[in-house]
Amino acid sequence: MFRNLRYILLLLSFLLVNKSFSQKNDLLSNEIQFIKLYSKLLSFPQENYDSVSYYAEKFENEFAQFIKKNPTTIDYSFKNIIDSNICWIKTSGDKNFRIYSWDSWTGGSMHIFKTIYQWKSNGKVFSSLPQYAEGDLGSFCSKIITVPINNQSFYLAITNGIFSNKSMMQEISTFSIKGNKLVDTIKLFKTKTKKLNQISVEFDFFSVVDRPERPLELISYDEKKNIIYIPVVDNNGKVSNKNILYQLKGSYFEFVGIEIGKRK
């Protein structure tokens, strides 16, 4: 009896390992195909708008469907896609929220970015494409900061918009998971007069072009002090050496002052 039970357990273990290996191979195979498809998009000059648009839409549709139909992708590294600089893929510290973002190359000097949100809740994985307002070019996510507040995880996504070679934007936005829904309307930032669910900074790229980090880290977070640093920008878009500070106090990041001194 015990021999039969041990045999059954070994067989189940083998089948599970084999299934996991097979799934990883399938994900890798698809990942390589997406790299080839995106490379096809890049093979056309941007002036060839019809071809660029066709392959940009094809990549977006097929990649979004792939993410939607394969929930295990939330734990897959996509190392080859990341190393090929095709897509920014950022995952929260608790592994429950992920943002995929990439350049569609359909906007010329105005970069039009596409995004997929993916999240895990109650043992299930969901995904969605954000609906942009008319004229919104989208942005790419460079970091997700996970902050626990009142026994709930909140996700602060730092995103980046490129409007021209000079004009750019960095933004910090709040996300959370409630039930099976991804919520992006929670007003977590508290100024002296109102509450906000996001804070954005438009700036002149050439005022910070000498900074070494890429992507730029103008908005930063100190985990030990629970402080978000937002750069002060003058009327000409030049990033100053001052930062607006928002510190976590209770249920909100509250404005606590302005600090002088350039942060990296």
Query: Checking DSSP bridges between strand 189-190 and strand 252-260, what pairing results, if any?
Result: parallel
Helices H / strands E in the chain, number of each? 3, 15
Would you say 80 and 38 are in contact if contact means Cβ atoms under 8 Å apart? no
What integer pLDDT is reported at residue 135 of this predicted model? 83
Q: First and final CA of the chain: distance in angstroms? A: 65
pLDDT tens digits, 66-104: 999 999 999 999 999 999 999 999 999 999 999 999 999
pLDDT score for 6: 52
Segment 160-209, tens digit of pLDDT: 999 999 999 999 999 999 999 999 999 999 999 999 999 999 999 999 99
**Quick check: 27 pLDDT over 90?**
yes
**Residue (of 104, 110, 250, 262) closest to 188 by Cα position:** 250
Q: Decide: 239 and 218 in contact? Cβ < 8 Å.
A: yes
Count of C-beta atoms within a 10 Å radius of residue 87? 20
> Residue 152's pLDDT band (boundaries 50, 70, 90)?
very high
Q: Which helix or strand (DSSP H or E) is residue 240 part of? A: strand 239-249
pTM of the model: 0.90
28, pLDDT greater than 70: yes
Q: What is the pLDDT of residues 110-146, one digit of tens each?
A: 999 999 999 999 999 999 999 888 889 999 999 999 9
**How many CB atoms lie under 10 A from the CB of residue 199?**
19
**What pLDDT is recorded for position 261?**
74
- Whole-angstrom Cα Rg for the chain: 21
